[in-house]
Amino acid sequence: MGPSLSLWLYKLRARISEADAPDPGTRPEGPLLWLHCPEGPEADAMLELMRLARAARPELGVLLTRPADAAPRALPRDASDRVTQLALPPDGPASARGLLEHWRPNLGFFCSAALPPALISEAGRRGVPLGLYADAPPEEGLPEVALRARLAQALMRRFDRVFLNGEKCAGPFRRLGVPPHRMELTGPLSEGPHALPCNEAEREILAGSLAGRPSWLAMEITTAETPIVLAAQAEAARKAHRLLLILVPDDPARGPALAADLRAEGWRVALRSDNEDPADDTQVYIADLEGERGLWFRIAPISFLGQTYGRGTPPDPFEPAALGSAILHGPSTGAQTHRFDQLARGAAARRVENARSLGAALTELLSPEKAAAMAHAAWDVTSRGAEATDHVVGWILDTLDAAEAA
């Protein structure tokens, strides 16, 4: 059974279960970039492609499609206008024709984690330029297990350019007949910018007042995590007597009550919401004002990320990593697991199981050389992929220009 027959059989099966598509919305005027976003880290990389393309071409409209069972994505603030998000209906010939007739995209870009065959086939038939980012063999993103290999062979003919994460991806695409001139080995794509803003004047004042004093940050700490953090502070302060803990509670409204509780326990505390600055003998500085993560990640050479003991939503570890802070965290990393894993593989983050191991890791990283090495590794992980992303965006813009000039 040849690849064309396999694709025909897939379309026949899809037509049987295909439902009418909902009202898709209004197409923006002008050129339209179509990105199909799966869930997971690939979606972050696709959003970064969108952000950079929009920065270069502000008039560019964007259609972000996603699998029907996936939630809408949170969009970058600087690239959210002229963007439509759409959950795809069941993949089949009629819905593919309806979507493409309505939106008339000038270019489509996919990743190998999510490949709707009928839609890709119809886009190729209509002459829509198509690009693909692949970090896995294409069969892994296709439905219909029995037809995967032959479907992939037929679909790969539709792509004008295939960008490969690594050499391990190249073999399967070669075996599927993708010509070498259509494949590029780029490496991983960037998952987006993570350098949070801060008030630079405020940063200089705080950095000056803390100069020469060891400090560390505990970010978004829950009530249950507070004793763990305080125990680690007490342990590490045995070897660094002037050690300052900058504690950011998960709920800023808890700041005053937390300060009162810690003072009652004998801790020397300063509270930011009361306009108190850390004195020379302050042990815990409670930073309970909103919107200051960028400030504290810049100030602290070591960051422990909260909501990682038990349930919660941990902060994005790429935020401190991009700002030169070594990262410690508990065992529960939730939706950020893939990013914590990336940092761990790069020797840029360390998991600590309890208060004792947190105190031991903190004591070790109070050595400036060790904290600096870990922070540099973290920055290296977050900056990886920027060149590859710029290259893919260049191809997207060049292809759009060529399509408009034709």
- List pLDDT tens digits, range 135-184: 877 766 666 543 566 777 888 889 999 999 888 888 888 888 889 999 99
Quick one: average pLDDT of 244-273? 98
In whole angstroms, what is the distance from residue 150 CA to residue 172 CA? 12
Q: What confidence score (pLDDT) does residue 9 get?
A: 44
Domains in the chain: boundaries: 3-8+30-190+385-405, 200-383
Q: What confidence score (pLDDT) does residue 151 get?
A: 75
The token duo for 122 is 């119809």
Quick one: average pLDDT of 343-364? 95
Quick one: average pLDDT of 43-56? 89
- CB atoms under 10 Å from CB of 322, counted, come to 21
In whole angstroms, what is the distance from residue 157 CA to residue 269 CA? 65
How far lies 37's CA from each of 32, 41, 248, 283, in Å? 16, 10, 34, 46
In whole angstroms, what is the distance from residue 119 CA to residue 51 CA? 24
β-partners of residue 247 are 218, 286
Q: Which CATH number fits domain 200-383: 3.40.50.2000, 3.40.50.740, 3.20.20.80, 3.50.50.60?
A: 3.40.50.2000
pLDDT digits (tens, 9 = 90+) for 112-137: 777 888 999 999 999 999 999 988 77
Looking at per-residue pLDDT, the higher value among 216 and 143 belongs to 216
Query: What are the DSSP E strand ranges found in 135-231?
Result: 161-164, 183-185, 215-221
Q: List the 107-111 sheet strands across, edge first.
A: 83-87, 61-66, 32-36, 107-111, 130-134, 161-164, 183-185
Residue 257 pLDDT more than 50?
yes
Looking at per-residue pLDDT, the higher value among 77 and 355 belongs to 355
**What number of residues does the chain have?**
406
Q: What confidence score (pLDDT) does residue 245 get?
A: 98
Q: Which amino acid is at 6?
A: S
Residue 340 pLDDT more than 50?
yes
Let me know if the fold of 3-8+30-190+385-405 is the same as that of 200-383: yes
CA angle centred on 365, ends 293 and 330, rounded to 5°: 60
Local structure of residue 199 (DSSP, 8 states): -
In whole angstroms, what is the distance from residue 404 CA to residue 389 CA? 23
Q: What confidence score (pLDDT) does residue 24 get?
A: 61
Residue 14 pLDDT more than 60?
no
In whole angstroms, what is the distance from residue 273 CA to residue 271 CA? 6
The secondary structure element, H or E, covering residue 11 is helix 3-17
CATH class of 3-8+30-190+385-405: alpha beta
pLDDT digits (tens, 9 = 90+) for 376-402: 998 888 887 788 899 999 999 999 999
Indicate the pLDDT class of residue 405, thresholds 50, 70 and 90: confident
Q: Chain-wide mean pLDDT for the chain?
A: 87
Residue 286 pLDDT more than 90?
yes
Q: Are 112 and 140 in contact (CB under 8 A)?
A: yes
Burial of 35 (0-12, 13-18, 19+ CB in 10 A): buried
In whole angstroms, what is the distance from residue 269 CA to residue 279 CA? 9
